[in-house]
Amino acid sequence: MPSLPVSQGHYRIATRLGDLIFTAGMTPRKDGVLIRKGKILNGTPVSDYRACVELAVQNALQAAQSQMTPGERISRVLNTTVYVAAEEGFEGHSKIADLASDHLFARLPEIEPGARTAVGVYTLPGNAPVEIALVVAVQSP
């Protein structure tokens, strides 16, 4: 099992209120190290960013699961926010976000998609190309 994401500052990777879990923004870090740095570039196929987007999603799921008790499951993904650090003129933010949605719902096929926001930003922490935050609802057995 991959290691649990570690906060890069003074915050928790996820917080829980009742049956809702809010994750911090998760970048594509493996064992605390970004697997890719730099902006998402015009002219580069979106599929070239799949691995880093999927790792950011996986980190967000792990952060959410860290707040769950044995037997609980994610019953709904209420919101996915995808921050995209792209060069000027990039217009494929929703396609980057689609990579996140596709991976999320491949991992949780019984759950319907929730709301999603794709936001273009100038930079992200550590020069990450993408950052993903989730809001999920959990259900006890």
Please return the burial class of 7, using the count of CB atoms within 10 Å of its CB with bins 0-12, 13-18 and 19+. Answer: exposed
Whether residue 8 contacts residue 97, with contact meaning beta carbons closer than 8 Å, is answered with no
**Is the confidence at residue 22, as pLDDT, over 70?**
yes
Average pLDDT over residues 102-129: 94
CA separation for the pair 28, 31 (Å, rounded):
10
CA triplet 8, 135, 133: central angle to 5 degrees? 35
Region of 43 (left: φ > 0; alpha: ψ -120 to 50; beta: rest) is left
Token pair for 140: 């006890």
In this structure, the number of other CB atoms found within 10 A of the CB of residue 130 comes to: 28
Sign of CA dihedral 108, 61, 69, 3: positive
Class level of CATH domain 14-139? alpha beta
43-52 pLDDT tens trace: 999 999 999 9
Residues listed for the chain: 141
Domain ranges of the chain: 14-139
Rounded to two decimals, the pTM is 0.95
What is the reported pLDDT for 52?
Answer: 97
> What tokens were used for 44?
């580069």
Q: What is the pLDDT of residue 2?
A: 62
Q: What does the pLDDT average to over 27-46?
A: 96
pLDDT-above-70 percentage for the chain: 99
**What pLDDT is recorded for position 45?**
96
